[in-house]
Structure 1
Amino acid sequence: MIKFLLMVNKQGQTRLSKYYEAVDLGKRAALEADVVRGCLARRKEECSFVEYKDYKLVYRQYAALFIVVGVTENENELSIYELVHNFVEVLDKYFSRVVSIMFNLDKVHIILDEMILNGHIVETNKNRILAPLLALDKMTES
């Protein structure tokens, strides 16, 4: 099960966080700081799977952006690794520029909600994931 997803820049600043279980705000800040510090300190040739407390962390780096997913021990790391790549492909398909992502976090959350529900992967088809957003865009244009 997916517990959380973080998008973090190279400076360690969290740009987006989505939690699929209740975590106190104070604990979130400490958790994010530890997770980010641990992932950013790793070299490129090291494995993208890290054990951290009760979680397994799966992360991928895209340019200056890291996407980190915290999962339970029984989750398949490779499926989460591919989910992260699929998520990035969906973002790339919808947004013309990377900068647009940071100014449209509400739409990024919609994309995540279409892909992951209550910590479980529910959709991976890019067209089905983007359908609600494209319908919203069409409504706002009218």
Structure 2
Amino acid sequence: MKYLETNEAMPAKVGSYKGYKYYIIPSLFGALNGYAELPKSWKDGDEDELTVHGGITFKGYVRDGASKVKVIGFDTLHAFDDQETWDLKSVEKECKYMIDEMIEVWYKHRPLRANTETALKTADELRKLLRKQGLSFDELGNLNKK
């Protein structure tokens, strides 16, 4: 799916889940649409694996203050949709489900990168803790040899 323009409409709700923002924006027809911020290294086409309500029907940007955020989204205006069922709470729940799926797909396609990033973050945290104790990695290794 190609990137579309920017949705400039005012969100009914902006939230955050597992480190990603989501937006609920009413359509011109009053139905609520859900959008989720994409990971920075998202690979185009990965959204085809998501099973969010009605499929991904939007890939583009939403306005968040002065900046634009790259998102994917779904709508609730399909022929089989009951608008009374798709209230703010249910669209929010579907946004969170979409984020869960996005994370799963992202990790499935990038396990080595994800593991490397996790290892680097862990090493950095360990380095900070050692520094507070006045030690380095080498000194820690020498302590273990004694």
TM-score (norm 1): 0.30
Q: Rg: which structure is higher?
A: 2
TM-score under structure 2 length normalisation:
0.30
